[in-house]
Amino acid sequence: MTSVLISGASVAGPVLAFWLRRAGVDVTVVEKADRVRGGGYPIDLRGVAVDVVERMGLLEPIEAARTGTRALTFVSERDRTIASLTTETLLGEQSIRAIELPRGDLTEVLWEATRHDVEYVFDDRITALDDRDDGVHVSFRRGGPRVFDLVIGADGLHSGVRGLTFGPEAPFRRDLDACYAAFSVPNVFGLDREAVMMNVPGRSATLYAVRDQPVTALFSFAGPTPTLDHRDTEGQLRLVEHVFGGLGWRVPDLLVRMRRAEDFYFDTVSQIRMPSWTRGRVGLVGDAAFAPSFRSGQGTSIATVGAYVLAAEIAAHPDDVRAALPAYEARVRGFATANQDLATSGARITSPATPLQLWTRNALLRSLPALERLGVPSQGGAIGRAANALTLPEMPVPALVP
Ligand SMILES: Cc1cc2nc3c(=O)[nH]c(=O)nc-3n(C[C@H](O)[C@H](O)[C@H](O)COP(=O)(O)OP(=O)(O)OC[C@H]3O[C@@H](n4cnc5c(N)ncnc54)[C@H](O)[C@@H]3O)c2cc1C
């Protein structure tokens, strides 16, 4: 195997590209955006995902980009503080290795670590894949046709490679009956390295303030998945205004700012669950294969680990794609599923749906500091177990083969 095409230059794509280059494979990454997408909300690397970036020699720049979030404060619609907790108290993270950093900082570090020896093609996408005996024949929207030994979709929840190889998204998408809208707003709230979350039953508004960057605002709401066109931004804006209209706290101001935001993003809260992530010489990794939804808090970690294991199996079976891909799948499946399952318990904290659930959640939050002092494990026990539920294989090729 000498040439691999990866679709998607976010987290899974560049991690896979990094390790495949170490294995002496020629790597091309095609990305539909015109550059690596920066900005965005804070994400987490936890457990074995931290070991992966350490093996890449990237722990230092990633540590340097830590958000340093001091507290997550839960407030009522009338701006009364319910509880203000450190992430360590909330998630019990003392027991696991964990780094929270802005998503754009991570993608920048990964891009910087790969851009010199990986061919990046921006502003393009795959339009057809034909898996033949001599390789996968690939057509692009802009570039000319090419042939690769292997094609990997690392192109997110709405993966184009998955669509071309496995068919429509619907049978693989598990909607968690909620939607979210995310956008940046200037930090006019006086927030400093902290997050504030306001909940009413079935709806939440959150502000994440990271160092000197704009604040990320996140609206999330429960309800049947609306049938909205992904390109219908006006329809999405109106839906959010309708669902959040009339709420207190900072919501009226945020709704005005949402209309002015240049990076408004709307989607359903969904997972991808597939019986198989590979077919012939085509495979999927990261959100494209096993998106866990942001409620799990583990999407970035499992994308990172999945990409590392995939590269390790390709390096271990350099002449046999048909052995490498199933071996990757066998190693990662249990780990991915355990982390996807965290989305259910995460929702109890971030998205209580009824007045009773909200009351119970608030009582739990108020008791967490005392429980921590008593040594009672919190939600973090489950996150720690899932984040470490895989033993990393050794990469058989430590040095870069030019
Ligand atoms: C609001 C929000 C909050 C989140 N919070 C957290 C969190 O706290 N902790 C956490 O760990 N995770 C979080 N996540 C999830 C995390 O962002 C993803 O799980 C993670 O980024 C997965 O990485 P990926 O590389 O697989 O896919 P993505 O990051 O989705 O990247 C896919 C890439 O493929 C490109 N692409 C898409 N389609 C095509 C195409 N057809 N052709 C070419 N390129 C294409 C995209 O432009 C993008 O660059 C959150 C996600 C969201 C949306």
Count the alpha carbons within 13 Å of 306 in the hemisphere toward its beta carbon.
34
Residue 344 is predicted with a pLDDT of 83
pLDDT tens digits, 186-242: 999 999 999 999 999 999 999 999 887 889 999 999 977 777 777 889 999 999 999
Quote the pLDDT of residue 363.
Answer: 93
User: Which ranges of the chain have pLDDT less than 70?
Assistant: 92-95, 373-380, 397-402
Q: Is the CB of residue 240 less than 8 Å from the CB of residue 228? A: no
Q: Among 5, 11, 340, which is best to mutate for testing ligand 1, by the most ligand atoms less than 8 A from CB?
A: 11
In this prediction the pTM is 0.93
Per-residue b or e along 187-224, where b marks 16 or more CB atoms closer than 10 Å to that residue's CB: bebeeeebbbbbbbebbbbbbbbbeebbbbbbbbbbee
337: three-class secondary structure by DSSP: helix
Quote the ligand 1 centre to 303 CA distance (angstroms): 9
| Buried residues in 37-58 as b, exposed as e (16+ CB within 10 A) | beebbbbbbbbbbbbbbebbeb
Q: Which atom of ligand 1 lies at the shortest distance from residue 301's CA?
A: 11
Element containing residue 63 per DSSP (H, E): helix 59-64
Q: How far is the CA of 6 from the centre of ligand 1 (A)?
A: 15
Q: In this predicted structure, what is the pLDDT of residue 402? A: 43
CA 89/CA 347 separation, integer angstroms: 17
Distance 287 CA to ligand 1 centre (A): 6
| Cβ proximity of 11 and 33 under 8 Å | no
Say which residues have a Cβ less than 8 Å from residue 216's Cβ, sequence separation at least 6.
40, 41, 42, 182, 183, 184, 207, 208, 210
Given a contact cutoff of 8 angstroms between Cβ atoms, the answer to whether 324 and 314 are in contact is: yes
Say how far apart CA 347 and CA 269 lie, in whole Å: 11
Structure tokens given for 343: 């989305």
**3-state DSSP call for residue 284?**
strand
